[in-house]
Each structure stands twice: as C-alpha cells, then as structure tokens.
Amino acid sequence: MNFPFYIAKRYLRSKSSQNAVNIINFITFLVIVIGSAALFIVLSAFAGLKTFSLSFTNTFDPDLKAIPAVGKHFSISETEENALQQVGGLVNYSKELEERAYLTFKERSCIAYIKGIDGNYRAVTGVDSTLYFGNWGVMEYNGVVGIGIYNLLGVPLDNYQNPLTLLVPKPGKGSITPQGLNAKPYNQVPIYVSGVYAVEENLDKKYVFAQLPLVQKLLEKDSTQASGINFKLNGEVASGEVRDGIKSVLGDKVLVLDRQQLNSTLYRMLNTENLATYLIFTLVLIIALFNVVGAIIMMILDKQQNSKTLFSLGATIRELRHIYFTQGVLVTSLGGLIGVFLGSILIGSQLLFGWLKITPSLAYPVEYNLMNVVVVMGTIVVLGIISSKIASSRINKRLISA
C-alpha cells in the first residue's frame, strides 16, 4: 500500500487528543457536506426549471421551422411542396400564416397574433395538448383563442350572433387614408370561438388560431404564401441532413431553424442564469474550503511529533506533505459524496412526492441529472486539491526540526 495514503487514511479515521482539533475537523467536514449538497440541489432545481420553461415553447415550436430570410412572407409552389415530401427524415409538414391583428368584442379589445394553420399543424406540433376546453372546430370561421384573451374579452364559445371580430390593416404602401366615402383602411373577419388553449401567461395572450384559407383571405394573400413551414422529424435521419434537404428545396428565400434557434434568447437567458448561480455557489464553496486549509494546518501542528518520528524513520519532506495533501483530498471528496447523496435524496423525494409547491396543484420542477453529479464532484475535488496543496506546503524542515 502507498505509504502516504496509508498514513492519511489512519489520520482520517483517528481522533486527535485535543478536543478543539476534533471540533474544527467536524465543522470543516460538515461545511463541505452542506456546501456540496446545496450546489447539487440548486443545479437540479435550475435544470428542472429550464426543462419546465422550455416545455411551454416546445408545445408551439416544431422540430424544424422554415421562416422568411427577408420580409414576413414567402411563396411555396406546388412543385416545392411535392419535393418536400421526398426529403428523408420528414414525417410531415404544416404551413402557417401569422400577423398581428386587432381583436374586438362588444366594448372590449386587445392586440394579438392571428395564426392561420392548415390541417397538419396539430400533428406537427404539440398544440393539441394545450386545449383547455372546447374544440378546434370544423367550420371555416371557427377559431381557438388563448385563455388570457378569453378572459380579457369575455367572448363566449360558439356565439354565432355576436362573434369576435378581427381587424388587420390592408396591405400596400402609402397613406391609409380612405379613398372613398365607404372605403375602410382595414380588412375584418368574424371568428366564432370554438375552443380555448392554456399554456402560460404570455402565450395565453398571444395567439388566435384560425383556418389558413381564412387568414390568407384576410391578409389578401394567395394560397402559395406563408409566413412559416413547420416540420416534424422521425428521428431516423440527423437533423442537419434534414435541414440541408429542406434548404435544397426552398433555397435561400428561407432560414431553417431548430427549436433552440427559434428560442435563442430564452435558451441564452436560462443558461446565463444557470452559470451565474453555479459561480455564486462555487464562490461560497471556495470560502468554505478555506476551513479545509485551516483544519489541515491544525492537524499538521497536532501531529507535529508524529511527523518528526516519521522523518527520523526516513520519510522525506515530500512524503510528509503528501500525507496531509492526501488527507485533505479524502476529506473533501468524502464530504462531496455525502453531500451529493443527501442532495439526491431531497431531489428524489421532490420528484416522487412534490412536497415543495409553486401552486397548490403544481410541484416545483426539479430534474435529476448525472451531469450535475459530475459537475459538483469535479468542483469539490478541484477545490479540495487546491486547498490541500496550499495547506500541505506549510510542512518544511524548520517545522519538523522545531
């Protein structure tokens, strides 16, 4: 057995003759356990929060989406649609047409987005799971609104006598001043609300879903024009290859983005928050691991006579330093393992029982991730190595001969 490791292991298990040293060692070990457990719990909580936040956007966002490279709309011919069906890795695709609109019902009004969707949209995205009550309707003038819009306007379902009215400015250039006595600078269409979706507050106030032909007519667009095409992949072909196939069909008039690129700001914000939290808790651990330096130095002083004996028996200064270095690494690694274990129990209990609630019906989202275990243990071990190296370097010939 390695001589320094053997002695370090003996020191780790044995108690000092001085009670103060035992108390310092216990407090140091406890700080490491609590610090590593806290870091693991916070990283797991942020991982769950990230997944929870992205689940809202994943409902509306497809695997890949083609959007205009320039402007707000682009045209897709029948030949291009047939070519898209031959792209490997695609399960289905759906066209959409989106524009801001003014919504009014009786004396209430708001601004939202009217999104025209075709029959494939619900199969390509997960929007079906968001329907809160009602249905998607089968008539041309049926529409589905977010629950935020529903509550704001107070529009009832299937109100055929007094429908929701959508208004959008007429396309074109120049002044919108009416050219005639009865001319209007906007197009309008009635919508009979057949269903209500619910996801989260911002999205619940954003969209009105309607039939694609109706929205094309409202915006004075022909059947070939769209503001986006949503694609669902089968997972058998790499996403990059499918993207290249779509680009080869549609050309430079579109940008093909994946789900992360469609929500780049949200991903960047969540990753930045996660990194900032990790750095803050790592700083706390760095401060806490100064206790390791102090504890090792106290152990060196307490075992000074033993060190003299080992030195007299032939142990080198390097070996003596390695003893206390190994002891420090063992203390921090063991404390980190216990801390991660305790953190895992807490995270597991939250996943099983949901004892911490955001709302009475919604448990705080957490996620057990092996990468977080690696990050926490890696951080603890690296900081333990640095602090142990600093403390063990205090051993020199003057200390041994004193």
Average pLDDT over residues 127-133: 88
CA atoms within 13 A on the CB side of 23: 3
Give the single-character DSSP code of 155: P
The answer to whether 24 and 288 are in contact (CB under 8 A) is no
Which tens digits make up the pLDDT trace of 182-194? Answer: 567 888 999 999 9
Question: Among 229, 247, 201, which Cα is nearest to 87's?
Answer: 247
Residue 1 CB coordination number (10 Å): 7
HSE on the CB side for 10, CA within 13 Å?
A: 10
CB 52 within 8 A of CB 270: no
Long-range contacts of 54-58 (CB under 8 A, 24+ apart): 54/263, 54/266, 54/267, 54/270, 56/199, 56/200, 56/203, 57/259, 57/262, 57/263, 57/266, 58/126, 58/259
- What tokens does 110 get? 């708001």
Q: What is the pLDDT of residues 139-155, one digit of tens each?
A: 889 999 999 999 999 99
Q: How confident is the model at residue 374 (pLDDT cuts 50, 70, 90)?
A: very high
DSSP helix/strand/coil, 395: coil
Which of 21, 20, 102, 96 shows the shortest CA–CA distance to 65?
Answer: 96
Query: What pLDDT was estimated at residue 114?
Result: 94
The answer to whether 3 and 310 are in contact (CB under 8 A) is no
Rounded Cα distance between 367 and 264, Å, is 22
More confident: 187 or 304: 187
Dump pLDDT digits (tens) for 321-363. Answer: 788 788 888 888 888 999 999 999 999 999 998 888 877 777 8
Q: Read off the pTM.
A: 0.73
Q: Give me the pLDDT at residue 181, please.
A: 46
